[in-house]
Structure 1
Amino acid sequence: MSDKLTLKRELSLTHVVTMGLSWMSPMIFFTSFGVLHEGSGGMLLAAYVLAFIAILFTALSYGQMARAFPVSGSAYTYTTKSMNPFIGFLVGWAILLDYLFSCIIAVLMFGINLHAQFTSVPASVWIVLCTLVVMIINIIGIKTSANVSKIFVLMQILFIAGFCALLVYRAFQGGITAGWNPLAVQEGVSFSTILAGASLVCFSFLGFDSITTMTEETKQPKKTIPRAILIIVLMAGLMYFVTAFLIQQMYPSFTSGNVDSAGFELMQVIGGPLLASIFTFVIIFSVLAQGMSSMTTVTRLMFVMGRTSLLPRMFASIHPKYRTPTFNIILMSIISLSAMFISLETAIKFVNFGALTAFLFVNLSVISHYIIREKQRSPKDLFVRLVCPLIGAGFVFYLIMLLDLSSLLLGAGWLIAGLIYYVIKKVKPATVNMAKVDEAV
């Protein structure tokens, strides 16, 4: 493998949208249903609306930075080039936490849901199987992964549409038990609980940002990446709103025996064994798609951090035949096996801290780059590149403050570990090799 090779630029808008939706996995609504439903006090729709507002402004900021710096690296690259390398490293380290645990969550959910369906087979067996499949497909190439993911994403959208159609059919048969007021607050649920739920629900929107790590493999990235980000967020928001609304109105008092498998239990309540079996079938492929896209994202971030010497140079190596960062893929596959020892709730807390930290600094990067450095201060620029990012940063910062103490402690511990690594590496801001990133522009 050589670090002189480059990644293949072969992804279209459809490919990129597919990879983003695969990473996000629309079925995440159901696979994390128990944790999110409990965390929002049953008020999922309100939590999703609040999270969507925060995410939409942040998505616009990602689009702005993708136009300015059409290279891989996501929040790490944007913060490094618009602020300084040290802040960039910290943000990159935080988003690495998000991407690392997203891979773990994918294989963990695969194991949880298949074990719920086939109780005689341990979850660890399914985790190992999923990890091997995801690793092989990622090594072969990103376009192969994108084409396979396209089929799996379509399956998820069709399932969600069919599920919602079933609930609407039952609603017209008199199944509504909570009325039609989407903003009605359940008794005993405070607004602060809903806000805390929104900080968890942000997890369901994560993925739109992942496509920025694929910029160097995308055709016309300055145009394609911002468009894809907006499409992904709007599509996800529509699916989540409709599904959350219907479940909330028809099953307001739903409870589960196990928060990790609550989605499977919900299917059994609504459609019995048949719907639960169909659900499991779709989950198998949705999690595979999420795993493939998550693996692509984290290994490309490792690639960029290796290329800029923040990680050892071996992370910047590319396989001469497949033109993929094979070393990163194999290493991440080994790390993913830790899903056998981690709970879903803990993994989600890690992801949320890393993602929200990156979101905060991408919003601030827009202001730093366009308003402060480039001095673009027309009325339009002040609104799009100052007011909107400030609103996005404000929402995200508030959501960070709503994370529970364990999430903040876990995240703080990760950042401290990063600082120790940074000191050991003795990376000097003036010598961080961002020039090699510029060559790809």
Structure 2
Amino acid sequence: MTGTRVELSGRLSLTSVVAFGLSYMAPSLVMVIFGVISAASGGTAPTAFLVATGAMFLTALSYAKMARHFPVSGSAYVYSRRLIGAPAGFLVGWVVLLDYLFLPMVAWLVQSVYLNAQFPAIPVWAWMLVNAGLTTLVNIIGLALTDRVNKVLTGLAVFLVLLFVAYCLVHLGHRTPKSYAEPLWNTGSSLTAIPAAAAVAAYSYLGFDAVTTLSEETRDARRTIPRAVVLVVAIGGILFAAVAHIMQLVHPGGVFDDPETVGYTMSVQVGGQTFADWTNMAGIVAGFGSGLAVQLSSSRLLYIMGRDGVLPQRLFGTLHRRTRTPVFCVLLTGAMCLVGLNLSLETATSFINFGAFLAFTAVNVCVIVYFVRNRGTGGVKVFGYVVVPALAACVTIYLLTQLSATALVIGGCWLALGFSHLLRLTRGFRRPTPELSLSDGPEDTAGERPEQAVEA
């Protein structure tokens, strides 16, 4: 048995995968960023969220297509190297690493800031260590425990958001709004402000793609993962837009004393100080659940790249025999909290957006390449495989251009570092890029054999 290869265990259901995706997106995030989106859109936050949902849904359809054709973990990294080529796949995976390495840190940092506000006697750095330590322990113990804990936390986070909505509705019952349509379009709205606000809101959807990193741990991944990707964006988008609509009715217009604290002040307004303190727990609960889900998907991407030999295989490409978890990868992502001890939330967030939107663009391009290589076969239509992903790519490229100069500089430097690493691995492209053996993961869709089309 000592020579038997340990593989990921495929046990997750559709409900589990959707719960991980929603937890990744953090249901209470709409309460946190509502004021910023409302101010940017001229008091039409729900419209901005609806536009962002539509834009992200286009890319979600591309991920769903790729997950159906390539039901293996690795997400944009695997899709790119199978369709665009191994060097391109390496660079996409390298850029996504920037996203996946820093996302757990951001999730823990957000949660620690909330906990420090609730319990100021304990500093942020101490909460960071506690949060990272707990999620790391759960993820190391095994997928079954992680799944159960995440479902409980996601359910609790959604319940607390809905409780906040209920208090808002009771408050509105005592003060009838002038118009229920005003949050969607009003005299302060403009066709330039709403798309700009939607670009900011789109950052709230980062993570819907992470469920594709769980393909090898999901039952019937070819069918389950595509459905999960679409459901996560649809459920998350509807929840964000609906909650934003209710909040916009409570506070019409986009003028606030402090847009960043509107969620808390509105909780005080509709339910009192004690209720506001409890709704603050929604952010804390969502933060822990998000950290758990983010660390899970991040460790899987590191494992897949280690299994490929892109990262040191002995460290990154092995699983614990009993728990079937990539322990080293989980520990490494947990250690990233030490980096976050000296970073502001704004700086930490700037690290992740570059990799996310570049990966989105790459996946949309992959769908078009798949069409070119497989046109004429059943089910591969021009509209779904060319028109929709091309439109989605335009959207994600636009979002990429809206990033701050800091994010673009950091992302560009990281990409240059990855290119240098690729040159070293391939000896100046005189050697092939390290590649995943097809026997290491599930086979591609029967009859399509896209890997042969790529190599032809």
Normalising to structure 2: TM-score of the pair?
0.89
- Number of the residue aligned with 2:302: 302
- Number of the residue aligned with 1:430: 432
- Tell me, in whole angstroms, the C-alpha distance in 1 between the residues paired with 2:328 and 2:16: 24
- Number of the residue aligned with 2:210: 210
- Number of the residue aligned with 2:234: 234
Tell me how many residue pairs correspond in the alignment.
438
Q: Is the 8 A contact 1:198 1:399 kept in 2?
A: no
Identity %: 33
- Number of the residue aligned with 1:290: 290
- Number of the residue aligned with 2:447: none
Structure 2 residue 172 is matched with structure 1 residue 147: no
**Cα 1:136–1:209 shift into 2, 3 Å:** same
Q: Is the 8 A contact 1:105 1:347 kept in 2?
A: yes
SS in 1 for 2:12: coil
- Number of the residue aligned with 2:421: 421
Displacement of 1:399 in angstroms is 1.8
Q: Is the 8 A contact 2:45 2:184 kept in 1?
A: no
- Number of the residue aligned with 1:220: 220
- Number of the residue aligned with 2:446: none
- Tell me, in whole angstroms, the C-alpha distance in 1 between the residues paired with 2:348 and 2:257: 20
- Number of the residue aligned with 1:325: 326
- Tell me, in whole angstroms, the C-alpha distance in 2 between the residues paired with 1:204 and 1:437: 36
1:18-417 paired onto structure 2 within 5 Å: 18-33=19-34, 36=37, 43-174=44-175, 176=177, 180-184=181-185, 187=188, 191-251=191-251, 252-253=253-254, 255=256, 257=258, 259=260, 263-313=263-313, 314-369=315-370, 371-376=371-376, 381-417=381-417
- Tell me, in whole angstroms, the C-alpha distance in 1 between the residues paired with 2:41 and 2:160: 24
Amino acid at match of 2:177: I
**Cα 1:407–1:249 shift into 2, 3 Å:** farther
- Tell me, in whole angstroms, the C-alpha distance in 1 between the residues paired with 2:350 and 2:262: 18
Displacement of 1:431 in angstroms is 4.2
SS in 2 for 1:174: coil
Displacement of 1:168 in angstroms is 2.3
SS in 1 for 2:399: helix
Amino acid at match of 1:77: V
**Cα 1:179–1:214 shift into 2, 3 Å:** closer
- Tell me, in whole angstroms, the C-alpha distance in 2 between the residues paired with 1:190 and 1:209: 31
In structure 2, runs of 5+ residues without a counterpart are 444-456
Displacement of 1:243 in angstroms is 1.0
Q: Is the 8 A contact 2:36 2:259 kept in 1?
A: no
**Which string of whole-angstrom CA distances, capped at 9 and with x for unpartnered residues, describes residues 213-252 of structure 1?**
0111111000000111111111111110011112223223
- Aligned-residue CA RMSD in angstroms? 2.5
Q: Is the 8 A contact 1:48 1:198 kept in 2?
A: yes
Normalising to structure 1: TM-score of the pair?
0.92
**Which string of whole-angstrom CA distances, capped at 9 and with x for unpartnered residues, describes residues 23-51 of structure 1?**
11111223444655566565432321221
Displacement of 1:279 in angstroms is 1.5
SS in 2 for 1:430: coil
Amino acid at match of 1:59: A
Displacement of 1:71 in angstroms is 0.3
Q: Is the 8 A contact 1:61 1:362 kept in 2?
A: yes
Amino acid at match of 2:432: A
**Cα 1:380–1:436 shift into 2, 3 Å:** closer
Larger Rg: 2
Q: Is the 8 A contact 2:42 2:254 kept in 1?
A: no
Of 131-140 and 246-255, deviating more is 246-255
Q: Is the 8 A contact 1:164 1:242 kept in 2?
A: no
**Cα 1:399–1:68 shift into 2, 3 Å:** same
- Number of the residue aligned with 2:452: none
Of 279-288 and 138-147, deviating more is 279-288
Q: Is the 8 A contact 1:199 1:400 kept in 2?
A: no
**Which string of whole-angstrom CA distances, capped at 9 and with x for unpartnered residues, describes residues 306-346 of structure 1?**
11111111111211221100001111111123222222223
Q: Is the 8 A contact 1:46 1:183 kept in 2?
A: yes
**Cα 1:212–1:161 shift into 2, 3 Å:** same
**Cα 1:281–1:182 shift into 2, 3 Å:** closer
**Cα 1:223–1:179 shift into 2, 3 Å:** closer
Amino acid at match of 1:20: G
